[in-house]
Structure 1
Amino acid sequence: MHISLVTGPQERAAAEEIRLRVFVGEQGVPPELELDEHDADADHFLARLEGRPVGTARMLRRDGCGVLGRLAVLPETRGTGLGAALVRAVEQRAREAGLRSVELHAQTAVRAFYERLGYEAYGEEDIEAGIPHIWMRKPL
């Protein structure tokens, strides 16, 4: 497995394709909510397995914190550690940028995944794109 920062249009297109397949195709998120205005300002990550794009994530910077989002791994590669590796890549990028923590708006169905990686929930559950979410944070 190899994870890199997205630097060119082909990698960007591959990352968007993964997001559309997972969030729009599998979960029914409207495409206009998935690909949004924040993409232009984010750091994007692409995970490859045997050279094939299979996962992605993005990180926004807000008030001295990294905001991890749009973490998506293709179904056939789930359970391989790819998601955790993407989270660690985002955390490393946040550390390099001097950010003090990483926050995320997790789907409640995957809350335990983030808890295993050291994230703690805060605030109340809410609904985003018709899916229950909770805010989580990890100090760096």
Structure 2
Amino acid sequence: MSEQAVFQVLLHEWQECEVQASLVRKIVFIDEQGVSLEEEMDGRDDQCVHAVAWSGNTAVGTGRLLPEGSIGRMAVLREYRGRKVGSLLLTALVESARSKGYAQVYLAAQEHALPFYLRHGFIPEGERFFEAGIAHVMMRRHLSGTKTQAPAAKE
């Protein structure tokens, strides 16, 4: 059995996954990366579709899709990194955007994660910038077979 089969990724509304997704994001962004709670919790979670990766009853990763087509808050617990959890999350969010008819999705990738997003068809745009003290690059992926275009906006 492949390691991917161990994880299940489900799409949730914020009210269904707030406790679990918040815990993953706190561990990754606040505890590991030193992002402030104010920067991490931007008040937009209730507008998003959330992908949560589960190992049994434990949330091990999360990400979200904002209404304007921005993917963000991608976080995987350290002990589950390198096991395709991020790929499963990203794929679920891209497919959600495609099902909504978006022509493209975009994200602010942490610089160290550029190779990951490149492998998933995202193209860098613009110069490096800092958000929460961490170097980022805007990236975009055009989706085929869609009718509408999500407006371009920065998360």
Q: Please say whether Structure 1 and Structure 2 have the same fold, judged by a TM-score greater than 0.5.
A: yes
Cα distance in 1 between the residues matched to 2:22 and 2:65: 14
Name 2:76's counterpart in structure 1: 73
Q: 1:32 to 1:8 in 2, by over 3 A?
A: closer
1:42 equivalenced with 2:48 (yes/no): yes
Q: Which aligned segments of 4 or more residues in structure 1 are displaced greater than 3 angstroms?
A: 7-10
Q: What is the aligned counterpart of 2:112 among 104, 109, 113?
A: 109
| CA-based RMSD | 1.1
Q: What is the aligned counterpart of 2:86 among 75, 83, 88?
A: 83
Cα distance in 2 between the residues matched to 1:71 and 1:87: 8
Higher-Rg member (1/2): 2
Q: 1:132 to 1:33 in 2, by over 3 A?
A: same
1:1-52 CA-to-partner distances (Å, cap 9, x unmatched) read 1111124645221001100110000000001100112212111111101331
1:97 equivalenced with 2:100 (yes/no): yes
Name 2:137's counterpart in structure 1: 134
Cα distance in 2 between the residues matched to 1:82 and 1:33: 24
Unpaired stretches in structure 2, ≥5 consecutive residues: 1-6, 144-155
SS of the counterpart of 1:118? coil
Name 1:16's counterpart in structure 2: 22
Cα distance in 1 between the residues matched to 2:128 and 2:44: 22
Unpaired stretches in structure 1, ≥5 consecutive residues: none
Q: Which moved more, 1:9-18 or 1:130-139?
A: 9-18
Higher strand share: 1
1:56 equivalenced with 2:62 (yes/no): yes
Which amino acid counterpart does residue 17 of structure 1 have in structure 2?
Answer: L
The answer to whether the 8 Å contact 2:126/2:138 transfers is yes
Which amino acid counterpart does residue 92 of structure 1 have in structure 2?
Answer: E
SS of the counterpart of 1:105? strand
1:72-91 CA-to-partner distances (Å, cap 9, x unmatched) read 00000000000011000001
State the identity as a percent.
39
Tell me the TM-score normalised to structure 2 length. 0.85
What is the Cα deviation at residue 113 of structure 1? 0.7
Which amino acid counterpart does residue 79 of structure 2 have in structure 1?
Answer: E
Cα distance in 2 between the residues matched to 1:85 and 1:10: 19
